[in-house]
């Protein structure tokens, strides 16, 4: 990003008090925190006209003037996007092992720095949200918010009804109780099955661990919805901006998970209907 293109989001991003300079630059949407540290250490950042070499230098974004490469930072709008993550990419700004990251898909996009909202592991695919509003991201990822995440999962074997009930009741793995909000079998054959699993918590590799504890290997795992935001027919590797209605609605309950051959649920609370996919997604060549 050129110095003249620097755009920093409004204070609604949660930075209304004094914070470290690197954190401010990152959370304002300019670059990753590690990149901000590098720029500060290289003497490329001025605070109130003075070069600052300390990434932890206290800053009040509403008062202090920040310059990068001689250009003043200016406020920009909140940006939140949905990305269809392919398998094989890692969700990080830079990978110490040299693996390709999801940011390769955004290299030519005219976007401010966007942080991932939650994670998908390298072998998983589907809906990934990114944004430059930390308060919004925290609301989605906070377990207390109970935002539903819906997954399509292909497993080896055919789960018995007792297995589905066990997934709802919870399995113990590494001292953690892992459970699903709802589970249903949507298809399959003699050797494998497709499940729809809804979670309202986000433990590390939770679905894979739950199913392994029940004797079923995961063959494919795809996230298809977060709250009322659906993956829809967004092409693999493509992204689109979320609508304001989608952004504001992501603090609510998840979509209806009715239908299918066999289904068990922990709750019968009403669900918000899913939103249609906006037109003109950004495709990656």
Q: Assess whether 217 carries a catalytic annotation.
A: no
Which pair of structure tokens corresponds to residue 193?
């099955």
Which of 54, 60, 108, 121 is catalytic? The answer is 121
Long-range contacts of 113-120 (CB under 8 A, 24+ apart): 113/26, 113/29, 113/30, 113/31, 113/32, 114/29, 114/79, 114/80, 114/81, 115/26, 115/27, 115/32, 116/91, 116/92, 117/141, 118/149, 118/202, 118/226, 119/91, 120/85, 120/91, 120/223
Tell me how far apart the alpha carbons of residues 230 and 235 are, in angstroms, rounded to a whole number: 13
The residues assigned a catalytic role are: 121
């Amino acid at each position: 990003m050129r110095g003249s293109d620097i755009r920093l989001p409004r204070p609604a991003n949660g930075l209304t008090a004094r914070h470290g300079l690197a954190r401010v630059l990152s959370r304002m949407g300019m670059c990753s925190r590690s990149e901000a540290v590098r720029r500060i250490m290289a003497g490329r950042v001025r605070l109130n006209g003075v070069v600052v070499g300390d990434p932890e230098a206290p800053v009040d974004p509403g008062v202090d003037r920040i310059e990068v490469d001689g250009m003043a930072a200016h406020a920009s709008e909140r940006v939140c996007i949905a990305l269809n993550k392919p398998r094989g990419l890692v969700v990080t700004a830079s990978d110490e092992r040299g693996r390709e990251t999801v940011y390769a898909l955004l290299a030519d996009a005219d976007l401010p720095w966007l942080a991932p909202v939650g994670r998908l592991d390298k072998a998983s695919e589907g809906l990934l949200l990114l944004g430059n509003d930390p308060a919004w991201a925290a609301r989605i990822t906070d377990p207390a918010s109970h935002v539903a995440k819906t997954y399509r999962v292909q497993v080896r074997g055919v789960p018995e009804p007792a297995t589905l009930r066990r997934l709802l009741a919870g399995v113990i793995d590494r001292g953690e109780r892992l459970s699903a909000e709802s589970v249903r079998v949507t298809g399959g054959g003699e050797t494998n099955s497709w499940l729809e699993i809804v979670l309202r918590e986000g433990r590390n590799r939770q679905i894979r661990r739950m199913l392994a504890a029940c004797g079923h290997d995961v063959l494919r795992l795809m996230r298809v919805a977060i709250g009322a935001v659906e993956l829809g027919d967004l092409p693999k590797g493509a992204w689109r901006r979320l609508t304001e209605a989608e952004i504001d609605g992501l603090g609510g309950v998840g979509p209806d998970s009715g239908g299918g051959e066999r289904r068990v649920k922990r709750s019968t609370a009403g669900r918000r209907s899913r939103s249609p996919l906006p037109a003109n997604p950004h495709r990656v060549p």
